[in-house]
Structure 1
Amino acid sequence: MTTTRIGSLPRQRSAEPPWAAGGAEPPRDPGGRITVEPRVVEKVAVQAVREVPDAGPARSRGARARMSGGGVTVRLRIVVRYPVPVGEVAERVRARVRERVEWVTGGRVHYVDIEIAELVR
């Protein structure tokens, strides 16, 4: 007596690859890694500071960034318009920089340290 086991045969490949039937291109392999230099993160952070009302980057080196693993740490030197509350502006800057840097780099921002370098009228 012969028994037949269902599901024991290897799956057969079709003559054409699956993407050929639909006319679409084959799925792409990322083929490597992407490295974002700290200087790029610094430029993104400075631009994000410029987008916040009543704040701006300091004249000398407005941002420094450090990358480790998938995380980013940003140190900012900003100017704040007087007499706007410094704490409120700093929180808006922190949120904007975090949002922009995470969006551009795809990494997580661990810290955004802010130094108020100057008050301007």
Structure 2
Amino acid sequence: MTTSAPPLPDPELRGRTTVADRAVERLAAAAAAEVDLATGSARRVLGLPVSDPDRPRVTARVHGDEATVEVDLAVAWPAPVGQVARRVRARVAEQLADLAGLRAVRVDVRVTALPAQRAPERPRVR
């Protein structure tokens, strides 16, 4: 004999989903890393790198269904910094809306380094 579960209440009466600041930071870092020519920037102490620059560093604060985000990244030289920053802002806002249902009210991008872009290796001719 099977018993059916009682029907669920309307969605607005079921409760509330919250997304932690740390989850938003990870989503935003991944989104920023997807933008061409935007990379991570190593933390520095006395001018020396002390961390791996694999992904941009992000700080985020969630307030209800809105988020404010700060992204620290490097832009590969000689890419247009303003253009890369605009693409990062747009990508972060888009991903937060799509994946977390959050509206990015502010996405600040701070470019902390301009590393030279590596040229592709050419085959050696003998």
| SS, match of residue 114 in structure 2 | strand
| SS, match of residue 98 in structure 2 | helix
The list of structure 1 runs, each at least 4 consecutive aligned residues, that deviate by more than 6 angstroms after superposition, is: none
Unmatched 5+ residue regions in structure 2? 44-55, 117-126
Query: Could you state the TM-score of these two structures normalised by the residue count of structure 1?
Result: 0.73
Q: Is the 8 A contact 2:26 2:58 kept in 1?
A: yes
Paired residues in the alignment total: 98
Letter in 2 for 1:113: D
Give 1:111's aligned residue.
106
Unmatched 5+ residue regions in structure 1? 1-19
Q: Is the 8 A contact 1:46 1:57 kept in 2?
A: no
**Structure 1 residues 92 and 44: alpha-carbon distance in aligned structure 2, compared to 1, 3 A threshold:** same
Q: Does 1:80 align with 2:80?
A: no
Give 2:48's aligned residue.
none
Q: Does 1:92 align with 2:87?
A: yes
| Partners of 1:58 and 1:97 in 2: CA distance | 17
**Structure 1 residues 27 and 52: alpha-carbon distance in aligned structure 2, compared to 1, 3 A threshold:** farther
Identity of aligned residues (%): 40
Cα RMSD, aligned residues only: 1.9
Query: Could you state the TM-score of these two structures normalised by the residue count of structure 2?
Result: 0.70
Give the structure with higher Rg (CA): 1
